[in-house]
Structure 1
Amino acid sequence: MNYFAIGFRNILKNRRRSIVTLISVGFGFATISLFAGYIKNVYSGLARQAIQGELLGHLTVMKSGLRTEGKLHPEKYMFSKKELDRVVPILQQYPHTVLVTPRMSISGMVSNGTASTIFVGEGVVPADVKKLQGDFQRKLAGDLKPDNPIGVATAEELGKILNLKRGDSAALLVSTVTGQANALDVDIIDTFNTGNIGTNDKFMYLPFELAKSLYDIDGAERLIVLLDDKAFTDQARTELTAELKKAGFDVELKTWLELSSFYTQVKRMFDMIFAFIFSNVFIVVVMSIVNSMSMTVVERTREIGTLRSMGLRRSGIVRLFATEAFLLVALGCAGGLLFTLLVRLAVNSAGITYTPPNSSNVVRLMVDLDVPRMARAGLMLSVLGIAAALFPARAAARKPIIDSLGHV
């Protein structure tokens, strides 16, 4: 017996009910697919923003204890020049390494001559910034000039607070690693938007050599490693940690994911929202399939009795209705996929923009295709749809043939 052919004819026979069920399944699948595509695009954008925009790279190499004790004893937890001469070659020799660059965090006071405020800065190698940024379009770090050793880039709101513009001069005051005050004059050569309202009024990028001079140290706080693909991040951390331990360095390697708290918080929030939407859509779709199949079984009780009298076993009856449920889900998902592609094309072409919470940058609304989530959604819908058809079909198949034939 060709269950698929018979199942398809039965779907056409109950055309009105089948259409309602197909619409329910299709819109449910499309809802899940579109939201999954949206959050995939958000995750991808946040990952690029962390790795390239915020210059985190893929791995950060630091001495063990830097994040807990480093503020109290900074010199003890920084790499000396001799240590850098040994550590950097180990990192550079790793097959997937694209760039290894030193980094220095710095904080203090910035003054325009009449007013001052606090700043938090990052000392970076100007020539390495472009390599880290790659093709990332949004300007989150500012442009430093390798030929200007005292040129710094300030966040937009920080510049507004002190009325500092490109071409102006300012003074930086910090404490050296030994606790002494140190001040230097700098040039404002660029401004940028950090993309975060919490840091846009205090952040600054300055040349790495200038940061070393302010801290009065010849070394680096940590090293940033850029890989050729973020897929190798965990593997690289494991292998490089082993290599550095073997060389006698007590270090810890943090991935961009561990250091980007914003990415982690946003991902956790969207995962919870997706789970909520997913569960609600599934309940609606499953209830629709249960209602459709229950009514179908009741209306076709005499047909079931006829098939049983012709020798079709109970398992064959169950298989027939399970096939119909599967076809309903498959056709509904196919329609939902087509609807998803059309809506995705419309949204991506519309140029819709919005400003996310806690952000100072406008973001374009885009929808990707999250194939793994879509496949899992289709599979779960199929399994639940078949399960929804099994219970009424088994109940009908157990009825005595005479009772089924006499059903009105």
Structure 2
Amino acid sequence: MNYFSIGFRNILKNHRRSLVTLLSVGFGFASISLFAGYIKYVYSGLAKQAIHGELLGHLTVMKQGLRTEGRLHPAQYMFSKEELDRVMPILRKYPHTRLVTPRMSLSGMVSNGTASTVFVGEGMVPEDVKKLQGDFQRKLSGDLKADNPIGVATAEDLGRILNLKPGDSAALLVSTVTGQANALDVDIVDDFNTGNVGTNDKFLYLPFDLAKSLYDFDGAERLIVLLDDKAFTEQARTELTAQLKQAGFDVELKTWLELSSFYSQVKRLFDMIFAFIFSNVFIVVVMSIVNSMSMTVVERTREIGTLRSMGLRRSGILRLFTTEAFMLVVLGCAGGLLFTLLVRLAVNSAGITYTPPNSSNVVSLMVDLDVPRMARTFVMLSLLGIAAAFFPARTAARKCITDSLGHV
């Protein structure tokens, strides 16, 4: 017996009910797929923003305890020049390493000569900034000039507060590693938007050598490692940690995912929203399939009795109805997939933009294809669709043949 052929004819025979079920499955599948594609695009963009826009790289190497005791005794938890000469070759020899660059964080006061405000700064090697940025389009960090050792880049709102723009001069006042006051005049060579309203009024980037001079320390606070691909992050952390500890360094390696609190917060939020939407859509779709198949089985009780009297086993009855339910899910998901592709094409071509919460950058509304989630959704719908047909069909198949034939 060709169960698929019979199932398809039964779907056509009950075309109105089948159409409602197909629409329910199709739109449900499309809703889940579109939102899954949207958050996949968001996650991809946030990951790229953290690694290349915020210049976190893939791994950050620091001495154990830097983020706790390091604030009280900074010199003990920073890499000296001699230690850098031993650590950096180990990191650079790793097969997937593209770049290793030192970093120095510092904070203090910035003044335009008449007014001043607090700043948070990052010292980095100017030549390495472009390598870290890669092909990231949005400018979340300033462009430092290799030929200007005292040139700094200020966040836009910080520059606006002090009326500083590229070409102006300013003064930085910080505490050295021993707690002494140190001040230097600097040139403003660039401005940038951090993409976060909480940091756009206090952040600046400065050359690494200038940061060392201000902090009065010949070394580095931490090292940034850029890999070939973020897929190697966990593997690289495990292997490099072992190599560095074998070399006698008590270090910890943090991934970009651990250091980017914004990415983690947004991901948790979207995961909860997706779970909520998925649950609601799933319940509606499953109830539609259950209702359709229950009514179909009840209406076809006499047909079941006839088939049983002709020698079809109970397992054959179950196979017939579960095949029909599976075909409904397949056809509905196929229509949902087509609808998803059309809507995705329309949205991606429309050029829609918006400003996310707590952000000062405009981003594009785009939809990706999250194939793994789409596949899992199809499998779950298929299993529940089959289950929705299995139980009422089993009940009907267990009826006495004479009772089934006399059913009205």
Give deviations 1:107-128, integer Å, cap 9, x for gaps: 0000001110000010010000
Letter paired with 2:155: A
Letter paired with 1:250: D
Give the match for residue 382 of structure 2.
382
Whole-angstrom distance in 2 between the partners of 1:182 and 1:147 = 23
Give deviations 1:382-408, integer Å, cap 9, x for gaps: 001101111110111111111111111
Letter paired with 1:66: L
Give the match for residue 108 of structure 1.
108
TM-score (norm 2): 1.00
**CA apart distance, 1:300:** 0.5
Give the match for residue 345 of structure 1.
345
Give the match for residue 318 of structure 2.
318
The aligned runs of 1:286-365 (5 Å cut-off) are 286-365=286-365
Whole-angstrom distance in 2 between the partners of 1:115 and 1:69 = 33
- 1:280 and 2:280 correspond: yes
Letter paired with 1:134: G
The aligned runs of 1:365-376 (5 Å cut-off) are 365-376=365-376
- 1:222 and 2:239 correspond: no
Secondary structure, aligned partner of 2:60: strand
TM-score (norm 1): 1.00
Give the match for residue 188 of structure 1.
188
Whole-angstrom distance in 2 between the partners of 1:381 and 1:321 = 16
Secondary structure, aligned partner of 1:277: helix
Whole-angstrom distance in 2 between the partners of 1:107 and 1:75 = 16
Give deviations 1:132-187, integer Å, cap 9, x for gaps: 00000000001100000000000000001101111110000000000000000000
Secondary structure, aligned partner of 1:279: helix
Whole-angstrom distance in 2 between the partners of 1:120 and 1:9 = 71
Whole-angstrom distance in 2 between the partners of 1:287 and 1:190 = 59
Give deviations 1:41-63, integer Å, cap 9, x for gaps: 00000000000000000000000
Whole-angstrom distance in 1 between the partners of 2:356 and 2:70 = 33
Letter paired with 2:188: I
Secondary structure, aligned partner of 1:67: coil
**CA apart distance, 1:315:** 1.2
- 1:244 and 2:244 correspond: yes
Give deviations 1:200-231, integer Å, cap 9, x for gaps: 00000000000000000000000000000100
Whole-angstrom distance in 2 between the partners of 1:170 and 1:69 = 32
The aligned runs of 1:88-127 (5 Å cut-off) are 88-127=88-127
Whole-angstrom distance in 1 between the partners of 2:272 and 2:371 = 19
**CA apart distance, 1:13:** 0.5
**CA apart distance, 1:307:** 0.2
Structure 1 runs, 4 residues or longer, greater than 6 Å off: none
Whole-angstrom distance in 2 between the partners of 1:63 and 1:74 = 11
**CA apart distance, 1:20:** 0.4
Whole-angstrom distance in 1 between the partners of 2:397 and 2:228 = 60
Give the match for residue 61 of structure 1.
61
Secondary structure, aligned partner of 2:83: helix
The aligned runs of 1:168-183 (5 Å cut-off) are 168-183=168-183
Whole-angstrom distance in 2 between the partners of 1:381 and 1:280 = 13
- 1:79 and 2:79 correspond: yes
Whole-angstrom distance in 2 between the partners of 1:380 and 1:123 = 51
Secondary structure, aligned partner of 2:278: helix
Give deviations 1:56-85, integer Å, cap 9, x for gaps: 000000000000111100111000000000
Whole-angstrom distance in 1 between the partners of 2:281 and 2:396 = 28
* Structure 1 segments unaligned to the other structure (5+ residues): none
Give the match for residue 207 of structure 1.
207
Letter paired with 2:131: K
Give the match for residue 253 of structure 2.
253
Whole-angstrom distance in 2 between the partners of 1:278 and 1:312 = 39
Secondary structure, aligned partner of 2:174: strand
Whole-angstrom distance in 2 between the partners of 1:85 and 1:143 = 27
Give deviations 1:347-399, integer Å, cap 9, x for gaps: 00000000001100000000000000000000000001101111110111111
Secondary structure, aligned partner of 1:70: helix
Whole-angstrom distance in 1 between the partners of 2:290 and 2:399 = 20
Letter paired with 1:36: A
Secondary structure, aligned partner of 2:67: helix
Residues matched between the structures, number: 408
Give deviations 1:267-323, integer Å, cap 9, x for gaps: 000001001111111100000000000110111111000000001111111111000
